[in-house]
Structure 1
Amino acid sequence: MRSGLELDRMDFRILSQLQRLGRCSNVELSELVGLSPSPCLTRVKRLQKIGVIQGFGAHLAMAMLGDLLVVFTEITVSHHRRKDMRRFEEAAEMFPEIMECYNVSGGYDFLLKIVTRSVDHFQTVMDALLAAELGIVRFSSRIVLRVPFVKHELPLDRLFSTKS
């Protein structure tokens, strides 16, 4: 957690409920967490303002949308200066197909989650990424065959001890 950020047990209760029921009304949320509506809304707005809540959205069932290809790609870049790493990150963010980008430790520098409509589409994305001359010296890709499960809720009660 960011240093200086103080969240109490009620904040975590609100966050847990919002992860599960993001579309619930403030009245419903306040009942679920045991707080009256006005202070509940004040807390939610505060959590949004400080950036803990980044937004609300729908989780889509990709399999129901058609045959989409999910690929995890490991990227190694030539230079590890902060400006070079940031340049890669900013360029990767411009590709709508790149859903997630992680700067990792180990044998490579970045792990990308890429969603495309086909292998050809994936190759087009990779060709464009390579053509951008971002210092990519090596990449390795793994096509996802099936997705046994995806979790969207952080287990807040197991990750953080909460104060009363």
Structure 2
Amino acid sequence: MEDISKKEDLQKLVNSYEMKVLSVLDSFNLKTHLLCDHLGYLLHNSEEFDKVSKAMLEYSVLIKEVILHGRRIRVFKLKESLTGKFNIPKIEIFEPKQGLDPSELRYGIEHIAFTVKDWEEFILKDRERLPIVKEGSVGNSLFMKTEIINTIEIEFRNDRLGEE
């Protein structure tokens, strides 16, 4: 797995990842305006979570910290967004859910999230064509996640993570 303790390494990882994301998005033929919100990144364990959290403070600011389903989640706003095909302003890191078989987890980039400009329009125009496998809400935040296509999972949100 890649080390994201340094921003340069994280940028390299994103550079290799985003072409796959564009390919998947193109296959959906979306009509809705999307704004990249964050990358979700799964770490192996609590020790790695603590190490990466500390290192990320060199190039980002912690904006949200929660415990959800028994695991710690932190959202960092980058001091300078990752750039390329997308402008990625935040990274969400999380520990594995307890009780899951580690061999079945997808460590590293777990998903990329986009904020949908008009959620209601998105539901009406684009929802049917998407392979959604999970829908949910946390507070006032609504989200949907696609099935994994070519190692890519896309999350669509009605708001910006850490700013809700």
Q: Same fold (TM over 0.5)?
A: no
The structure that is strand-richer by fraction is 2
Q: Output the TM-score relative to the length of structure 1.
A: 0.28
Give me the TM-score of the superposition, normalised by structure 2. Answer: 0.28
Query: More helix by proportion, 1 or 2?
Result: 1
State the structure with more CA Rg: 1
